[in-house]
Structures are given as structure tokens and as C-alpha cells.
Amino acid sequence: MSEPARQLQRPSPGWAPPRPPRPPRVEPRTRPRPSLVRRPAATPGASRRSTLVARRSGTVGFLILSTVVVGSMVLGVVALNALLAQSSFRVDDLEQRMAALSQEHLELVHEQATLSAPGRIAAWARRHGMRLPDDIRFLHVPPAGRTAPAGAADALDRLQRTVSNMVGGGE
């Protein structure tokens, strides 16, 4: 085969098979985000740099937002942990106080039982000159507004007659 024929069979280094045509791009109805809008550049390399800068600024904004959110969540967890620890200390203090007050209550009940013992009260009364009576009498006084029991009226009449005989000198 001749050299010109071989060159026709071999593709040239800059040659590529033709691509099928692309369908036309449909533009969205909303406005594109300003950070992703391509700006015309003087050189083809500058266009690529402006797109990278726009993407980086979006990434930096996302990083700042996520850092703020995560930082506030960590701060909230730390504050909650501090409140729980403080509550735990308060509960421990209250339990200790309750144990001390229970012990004091038991001591006071024991002291009350000791002070109200009948033998101790009798000994105190003897030391202070008190004594038991020789003759114990019970007086029953009818409540106001009630009638006297049966037979009490006769005794009252006899008592009044006796008193009037003594005072008046007889009937």
C-alpha cells in the first residue's frame, strides 16, 4: 500500500469522529442563583476560575452555617449536662438533709416517750411537794340548759330547806 493510502486509513492526531448534535437546552423558568452565574471572561482560563470561586464561596457559606449549627448543638448538650449535674447535687443534699431530719425525729420521739413515762412524772411531783389525795371525790355538774336527773330535784329542795333553816332560824 502506498503512503498516501495509509494516511487516508489512519486518522490524523487532531481528527475525531463527528458527534451527534445535542438537543437544545431548556432554560429553567426561575432565575439562576447569582453565585453560579458565569460572567464573561477575557480568557478561557479565567472563566473556569470564576466558576470555581463561585462554587468555593457557596461551600464556605455552607461550612460556616454547619459550624454554627453544630457548635450551638454542642453548647446545648453541655448546658443540659451541667443542669443535670447541678440537679444531681441538689438531690444528694436533700437526701442527706432528709436522713438527718429522720434521725432527729427518732431522737425527739424517744425523748418524748421518756419524759411522759408515769414513773418519771410521779417522781417529779414528789420532788416538788405534790402528793396523792387521801379521799377522791367526783363532782358531776350538769351542763347548762339541761334538766336535772331523776331524784336530784328532791335533794336540791332538801338542801334549800336546810340552808333556809340555818339562816332564817327555822320555819
The pLDDT value recorded for residue 110 is 96
Higher model confidence: residue 111 or residue 4? 111
Cα-trace Rg, the chain: 57
Q: Examine the pLDDT at 152 and tell me if it is beyond 70.
A: no
The pLDDT value recorded for residue 163 is 80
CA atoms 54, 59, 63, 69: torsion sign: positive
The pLDDT value recorded for residue 136 is 84
Tell me whether residue 51 is exposed, middle or buried, using C-beta atoms within 10 angstroms of its C-beta: 0 to 12, 13 to 18, 19 or more.
middle
CB neighbour burial string for 70-105, b if at least 16 within 10 angstroms, e if fewer: eeeeeeeeeeeeeeeeeeeeeeeeeeeeeeeeeeee
**For residue range 18-63, what is the model confidence (pLDDT) as tens digits?**
777 777 777 666 665 555 555 555 555 555 555 555 566 678 889 9
The pLDDT value recorded for residue 155 is 74
**For residue range 82-136, what is the model confidence (pLDDT) as tens digits?**
999 999 999 999 999 999 999 999 999 999 999 999 999 999 999 999 988 888 8
The pLDDT value recorded for residue 134 is 84
The pLDDT value recorded for residue 125 is 93
Q: Which among 163, 141, 144, 162 is positioned nearest to 152, based on CA atoms?
A: 141
